[in-house]
Amino acid sequence: MKDKFYNYIQQLQDKITSKLEAIDGKAKFKEDLWKRPEGGGGRTRVIENGNVFEKGGVNISGVHGKLPDSMQKYFGVEDADFFACGLSLVIHPKSPMVPTVHANWRYFEMYDQDGNIVDQWFGGGQDLTPYYLFEEDAKHFHQTCKTACDKHSPNFYPKYKARCDEYFYNEHRNEARGLGGLFFDYCKASNEMTMENWYDFVTEVGDSFLEAYVPIVEKRKDLPYTQEQRDWQEIRRGRYVEFNLVHDKGTLFGLKTNGRIESILMSLPPHVQWVYDHHPKKGGEEEKLIDVLQNPREWV
């Protein structure tokens, strides 16, 4: 399973980076191949200063070795080895009219001292973080997520949409990071789903990513915007940074397992503002967005 999934994310990385380069028309992804001293490595691809994308990363990794002490305590195990692989991406467009997007699809195995698999699971999801609210974009993104989920279970979309709203939430701000999407974790074999079934589901969602995001980019990338709207985008990006550094489990896992810092922090946007006690104008488009972030909606 680990070889099969790693092969899948390699191909998906190629497909996504090629498409995003074509949309940008100027910038190309720079590739870094890296090795982790304890075992494994990855392929980081970053795009910067393009016509459409200000900064973005589409990374894959496959790492293995002894599970660090902090993670052994977290999982309640002793002397365990692990293998983890996944694709993680964050795209920060230049225009405040185009939303930031994040996605991640991952697979994890844990082994006993004899090398037998004692646990294995899939996780992942995709979510949208706009700076200005276009309801049709939110509906399109969520409908694409729902269509992928419905092929596997009618329960998946409502369940993983709710988990996404719950997970990508800045508690210290009392607001969601964005408009959500899907979030699933610890997807393990059961009476209803084999690991092969989970593989089919996770790859279905992975394959739906470009269909969910690209039409929104193409519709919004050439809209005009003002400096004031750009400032708002940078203030909202600050909230994105806060979530990733304070709450995000993937970031914390990477830092605690001696992950590659450049790959972990590639999710941070290049230009951000933190304005003291900032509040959007009453009745403006900015306030409309905040209202939805404080009261997550059912989009489809």
Tokens of 6: 């790693």
> Does residue 102 have an active-site annotation?
yes
Let me know how long the chain is: 300
The residues, any chain, with a CB within 8 Å of residue 227's CB and separated by 6 or more, are none
Tokens of 238: 């600050």
Kindly report the three-state secondary structure assignment for every residue of 68-137. CHHHHHHHCCCCCEEEEEEEEEEEEECCCCCCEEEEEEEEEEEECCCCCEEEEEEEEEEEEECCCCCHHH
Q: Which of 92, 102, 140, 142 is catalytic?
A: 102
What's the CA gap between 161 and 171, in Å, rounded?
Answer: 18
Tokens of 278: 């900032």
Q: Which residues are catalytic?
A: 102
